[in-house]
Structure 1
Amino acid sequence: MRLGYLTHVAGAAPAQAYRDTVTLAVAAEELGFASFWVAQHHDGHLDGTLPSPLVLLGAVAQATSTIRLGTAVVAAALEDPRRLAEDAAVLDVLSGGRLELGVGAGADAGASARFGRDHDRRHADCADAVDALRAHLDEIVPAAPGLGARLWQATGGSRGVDAAGARGMGILSGRPDAAPDLPRYWARAAGEPRVAAVRVVGPGEAPDAALRRWRADPVRAWATELVVQTQPAHAPVGTHLATLRALAPTRRDADRPAPLGPLVAALRTGPRRVAAATDA
């Protein structure tokens, strides 16, 4: 299982928050993390200072060389799909094909209003934007080969999981209650199934306590990646670095249950095979 780190790029001083984010990404790469993700927030929502995650990841790309760079997430319902595709393609080329583009409907009603969008339509608008984004990725300059297979949908509900699977997108989810829908996603997904579980190290919590919770998490059996974030988001950079260092030795998750391959094969071939696989 891969291990990633997520930051909400929060703090009273945006310039410092951006510099700290680059520092965190460099440290994550040096410690062996597989991915580094940043969240988008408009107008300081939830203390976040980053409305343009692809711009900041451009700076991160120049300071790193191997770690995958993710957005968790861009509110696609507020974006022009072609511009999003072009900006993402430029970052993907700059980074050597390391972008993991996560999108979602967006939860900030204030942002929807400021962008002149109907917040109640955000899920439908997001679906339309994602479909347009995928089409644009096939035609824009610069070309970004493979980026279409590195799209992620932030979702935890049944309809969202099914839609992501039908589009061949990975799933980003912070919800343990997504677990019942994930076997169906693995069985039916177009392309390679990818599930990134986003989990929190809470205020004052030791990272090993978060790992103990993770080992009992119902999503864990279906996840291909654990993405950890430290709360509060505006904690000093030293607190984030301490989480990275504490988690780094466990990044291979050695006590994970048996690989999912046999169960996935069973799911694809019918319920009798499922029973046999789960009893093994």
Structure 2
Amino acid sequence: MPHPTRPLRKLGFLTIGLFDPADPAAGHESTLRIIELGERLGFDSAWLRHRHLQFGISSPVAVMAAASQRTSRIELGTAVTPLGWENPLRLAEDLATVDLLAGGRINPGVSVGEPMHYDTVKHELYPDSGEQEDFSYGRVERFAHLVAGEPVREFSGRQGVVEEFSNRVEPHSPGLRGRLWYGAGSTASAVWAGANGFNLLSSSVVFPGEDQDPDFALVQQSQIRAFREAAAASGHSRARVSQGLVVIPTDSATPAQREKYQRYVDERTPRTTAPQGPRGMMFARDLIGSSEQIAGQLYAHAGFQEVDEVAFALPFSFDHEDYVQILTDIAGKLGPALGWTPAEAGKPAS
């Protein structure tokens, strides 16, 4: 068993919150129960994917609000919210509200770019401004300024007998700006995130540069290093980086679960063998096996070697009992094999 150069400091998990369209309430309840389980197992964070017009969580802010009232310690985040679907001012209001309700535990992860399949939805999303919407970094910069409490307008003060107006987004949650994350897949976006005061979410998808060796782990490593250099140069030397790979420990899995998990991995493996599409998108291999085997693979992974916190992604299409088994093995076996110590019940994440 290889020895870590440093212990894993923070351990989290990421879920899509899959649900049956015939019974969506049950799927959302399952997600909340999984987050509650994560807190009991000592996980430091739980992250929600953001899906629109699909059978996954479309409103992670609402789910985080519910989870915040059923937990007391675990951090809650989004990985990621695509800002092309959002009004930055309204999103800033919602996130600040939930952060205050959660006692400062919210970690919003965002990205920019044109919404997926934009031509099929822009007539409903932006019926009057679809061709003029700005999906560039300017959108996330505006969002960050609003979260930080910078002025929205000059007008403020009392109007009439009881109406009181502010010139910034209200409510304001003072620490939230420092907990904004950016989901970057390219070196350019990682550098931008570091230079602009964001933390970095590095997932199981990367876009290599033209002259880079098409090795996922090396590409991810170089992006993380570029982020840290940019962050340090901009005075953000304490910026955080989280890696999000799919890991499936099978220590306590039943034979039927192991067979199911292996089929899932086998179906997804071909896409990892070569860059995909015009931009050369690269996918990380899913890691499956005993916790000892997975820990060995992670220690050999150039991207993992750069981080001290992770948010392991749960497979999309598994059942509730599968997630219980996987999370229990991650917290009880894989995490400790990586040097991680479970958080104490009732103690806020540091």
2:14 is matched with which residue?
6
User: Are the counterparts in 2 of residues 201 and 230 from structure 1 also a CA contact under 8 Å?
Assistant: yes
Counterpart pick for 1:200 among 243, 246, 253: 246
2:197 is matched with which residue?
168
Gapped runs of 5+ residues in structure 2? 1-8, 150-167, 205-216, 249-260, 263-287, 341-350
C-alpha spacing 1:40/1:99, structure 2 compared with 1 (3 Å): same
User: Are the counterparts in 2 of residues 2 and 251 from structure 1 also a CA contact under 8 Å?
Assistant: no
User: Are the counterparts in 2 of residues 9 and 234 from structure 1 also a CA contact under 8 Å?
Assistant: no
C-alpha spacing 1:140/1:229, structure 2 compared with 1 (3 Å): same
Bigger RCO of structures 1 and 2 (CA < 8 A, at least 6 apart): 2
TM-score calculated relative to the size of structure 1: 0.82
Counterpart pick for 2:139 among 124, 129, 133: 129
Moved more, 169-178 or 19-28: 169-178
| Percent identity of paired positions between Structure 1 and Structure 2 | 26
Matches within 5 A, 1:221-240: 221-231=305-315, 233-240=316-323
CA distance in 2 between counterparts of 1:195 and 1:63 reads: 27
Moved more, 208-217 or 81-90: 208-217
C-alpha spacing 1:207/1:14, structure 2 compared with 1 (3 Å): farther
Which of the two has higher C-alpha Rg? 2
1:259 is matched with which residue?
none
Matches within 5 A, 1:113-124: 113-115=120-122, 116=125
User: Are the counterparts in 2 of residues 14 and 49 from structure 1 also a CA contact under 8 Å?
Assistant: no
Three-state SS of the structure 1 residue aligned to 2:222 is helix
User: Are the counterparts in 2 of residues 11 and 234 from structure 1 also a CA contact under 8 Å?
Assistant: no
Three-state SS of the structure 2 residue aligned to 1:172 is strand
The one-letter amino acid paired with 1:30 is: R
CA distance in 2 between counterparts of 1:102 and 1:112 reads: 25
The one-letter amino acid paired with 1:140 is: V
CA distance in 2 between counterparts of 1:147 and 1:87 reads: 12
Compute the RMSD of aligned alpha carbons.
2.5
C-alpha spacing 1:128/1:24, structure 2 compared with 1 (3 Å): same
Give, in angstroms, the shift of residue 99 of structure 1: 0.2
Task: Indicate whether 1:29 and 2:39 are aligned.
Answer: yes
1:60 is matched with which residue?
67
User: Are the counterparts in 2 of residues 207 and 246 from structure 1 also a CA contact under 8 Å?
Assistant: no
Moved more, 1-10 or 218-227: 218-227
TM-score calculated relative to the size of structure 2: 0.66
Give, in angstroms, the shift of residue 194 of structure 1: 1.0
The structure carrying a bigger helix percent of its residues is: 1
CA distance in 2 between counterparts of 1:97 and 1:210 reads: 33
Gapped runs of 5+ residues in structure 1? 257-280
The count of corresponding residues between Structure 1 and Structure 2 is 251
User: Are the counterparts in 1 of residues 187 and 226 from structure 2 also a CA contact under 8 Å?
Assistant: no
Three-state SS of the structure 2 residue aligned to 1:251 is helix
User: Are the counterparts in 2 of residues 153 and 172 from structure 1 also a CA contact under 8 Å?
Assistant: yes
The one-letter amino acid paired with 2:81 is: V
Task: Indicate whether 1:143 and 2:172 are aligned.
Answer: yes
Three-state SS of the structure 1 residue aligned to 2:244 is strand
C-alpha spacing 1:180/1:112, structure 2 compared with 1 (3 Å): farther
Counterpart pick for 2:327 among 219, 238, 244: 244
The one-letter amino acid paired with 1:170 is: N
CA distance in 2 between counterparts of 1:152 and 1:121 reads: 26
1:181 is matched with which residue?
223
Give, in angstroms, the shift of residue 222 of structure 1: 1.8
Matches within 5 A, 1:67-82: 67-82=74-89
C-alpha spacing 1:128/1:211, structure 2 compared with 1 (3 Å): same
